[in-house]
Amino acid sequence: MNTSVTHLPPQSLDLRRFIRPGDTLMWGQANAEPLTLIRELVAQRHSLGQIRLFLGIGHNRLLEPEHLDTFDFLAYCATGSNRKLAEAGVLDIMPAHYSQFPRLIEQGPMRVDVLMLQVSPPDALGRYSLGMAREYLIPAIESARMIIAEVDPQTPWTYGGPYLREDDFDLLVPSTLQAPSSKAVVPGPVEIAIGRNVASFIEDGATLQTGIGSIPDAVLAQLSDRRELGVHSGAIGDGIAELSLAGVITNSCKSIDAGVSIGGVLIGSDTVRRYAHLNSALELRSTQYTHNPRVLGKLNRFVAINSAIEVDLVGQVNSEVAGGRYVGGIGGILDFLRAAQSSRGGVPIIALPSTAGNRSRIVTTLSGPVTVPRSDGCVIITEHGIADLRGLSLNQRAARLIAVAAPEHREALERQIHAGNPHGK
């Protein structure tokens, strides 16, 4: 990095000074995307040569499939605005666990040449906060050749470090685009029923990890009567913010990081921005911390709540592919489920609606890859009930899972069991 930072308005920005042909670029995901810089990258792409972009969850509408003329698209997931890239067949997928990202970034296969950041305005000490995300940006900060950033007044100043000073950047530009806000999806009857079933496993003093989407929000909405809950999660959204503001989440019973919610990225509306700004009871940390098995192993009563596309009758879980299309990702699902499995009083949960349209999501054979193997027996929850697979045999699992399938699909699942071999023997 240069010891003298360049300040430029976006209209004067020439990215050829910072980006070379063949470079790999990375930036924050979801609400942490630096939109002004991405817009300029797209506009100037033909002058830069072929470059590779590593994408997290996409919330922007700036990247298009036709940009394959100069961009190679690589991502760990096909969610959000990445979906159109995947559907067009131009998105390559990195099938790795989240906990592996720091090593892959630091040691070569995912090494980042240019890191583009969204940062908050500096505090009184001149420290810029990474605002909405830390996670895998931290190892990229430590290894990137160039760090360029946009300063966004809407970005909250959040704790957790590292805090960057002006001479840590090679370029600073002001943000000129409205930061995206993830609108909360109002849970329907199915999500509410799932939320109630999941909430039955969450006791006072438990520490929670949740994914993103309507089901985690529906679960969190059922917890207003709980006390002294804690948080150690990859993503933190509106539901966690609201429970924290209501005094339900205090982190007072956590076996580590007492009094502080730990996360990697903020994904949500202005609610989570306001909650996070200058809030010392919330810290965003690197993936090296949030997904580290040695750290997670210190958490007691750790309840990991994740969703999936489908589950087969031996407990194998697909969270990646639906209808032959890559729509999800591996992410941290196994990192957190295995931590909850080994936690004293912990619960590893997969929560999902029993159907997608007229198709059962409890199936005899997965239509996509095995994201979670059957050896990681979880608690599978639908709107129709709870199938706790921990310690169960294959035959016992099939019966429990059929019981939580949609009633109209149970008979067909039974017939398929007797006609074939759902056990993978």
The tens digit of pLDDT for each residue in 262-305 reads: 999 999 999 999 999 999 999 999 999 999 999 999 999 999 99
| pLDDT confidence of residue 3 | 41
Could you tell me which residues are beta bridge partners of residue 232?
262
- Which domain, by its residues, includes 252? 189-419
Do 218 and 116 belong together in one domain?
no
Do 304 and 169 belong together in one domain?
no
**Looking at residues 233-241, what average pLDDT do you find?**
96
| pLDDT confidence of residue 424 | 44
Distance CA 402, CA 183 (A): 34
The residue from 140, 174, 208 where one domain ends is 174
How many domains, in total, are found in the chain? 2
| pLDDT confidence of residue 422 | 52
CATH number for the domain harbouring residue 387: 3.40.1080.20
Do 97 and 34 belong together in one domain?
yes
| pLDDT confidence of residue 1 | 43
pTM: 0.94
pLDDT digits (tens, 9 = 90+) for 138-168: 999 999 999 999 999 999 999 999 999 999 9
3-class DSSP state of 311: strand
Do 356 and 414 belong together in one domain?
yes
Residue 405 maps to a domain: yes
Distance CA 364, CA 420 (A): 9
Residue from 189, 191, 234, 210 nearest 347 by CA: 210
Question: Does the pLDDT value for residue 238 go beyond 60?
Answer: yes
Do 227 and 320 belong together in one domain?
yes
| pLDDT confidence of residue 197 | 98
Whether residue 347 contacts residue 379, with contact meaning beta carbons closer than 8 Å, is answered with yes
Whether residue 217 contacts residue 239, with contact meaning beta carbons closer than 8 Å, is answered with yes
Residue 168 maps to a domain: yes
User: Which phi and psi (to 5°) does residue 71 adopt?
Assistant: -110, 140
Question: Does the pLDDT value for residue 423 go beyond 80?
Answer: no
Lowest average pLDDT, out of 82-86, 92-96, 121-125, 417-421, goes to 417-421
| pLDDT confidence of residue 213 | 81
How far CA 210 is from CA of 16, 238, 267, 370, 407, in Å, comes to 40, 12, 12, 21, 28
Residue 13 maps to a domain: yes
Strands (E), 214-366: 230-231, 235-236, 261-263, 265-266, 282-284, 302-306, 310-312, 317-318, 321-322, 325-326, 347-351, 355-356, 359-360, 362-363
**Looking at residues 375-401, what average pLDDT do you find?**
96
Do 221 and 335 belong together in one domain?
yes
Q: What is the DSSP string of 61-114?
A: S---GGGGGTEEEEESB--BTHHHHHHTT-EEE----GGGHHHHHHHSTT--SE
**Looking at residues 218-226, what average pLDDT do you find?**
96
User: Which phi and psi (to 5°) does residue 105 adopt?
Assistant: -75, -40
Do 69 and 100 belong together in one domain?
yes
Do 136 and 108 belong together in one domain?
yes
| pLDDT confidence of residue 332 | 97
Confidence of residue 6 (pLDDT cuts 50, 70, 90): low
Distance CA 319, CA 358 (A): 19
Do 216 and 343 belong together in one domain?
yes
- Other beta carbons within 10 Å of 409: 18
Do 133 and 271 belong together in one domain?
no
| pLDDT confidence of residue 425 | 43
- Other beta carbons within 10 Å of 12: 9
CATH number for the domain harbouring residue 78: 3.40.1080.10
365: Cα within 13 Å, side-chain hemisphere? 9
3-class DSSP state of 188: coil
| pLDDT confidence of residue 421 | 55
Do 84 and 200 belong together in one domain?
no
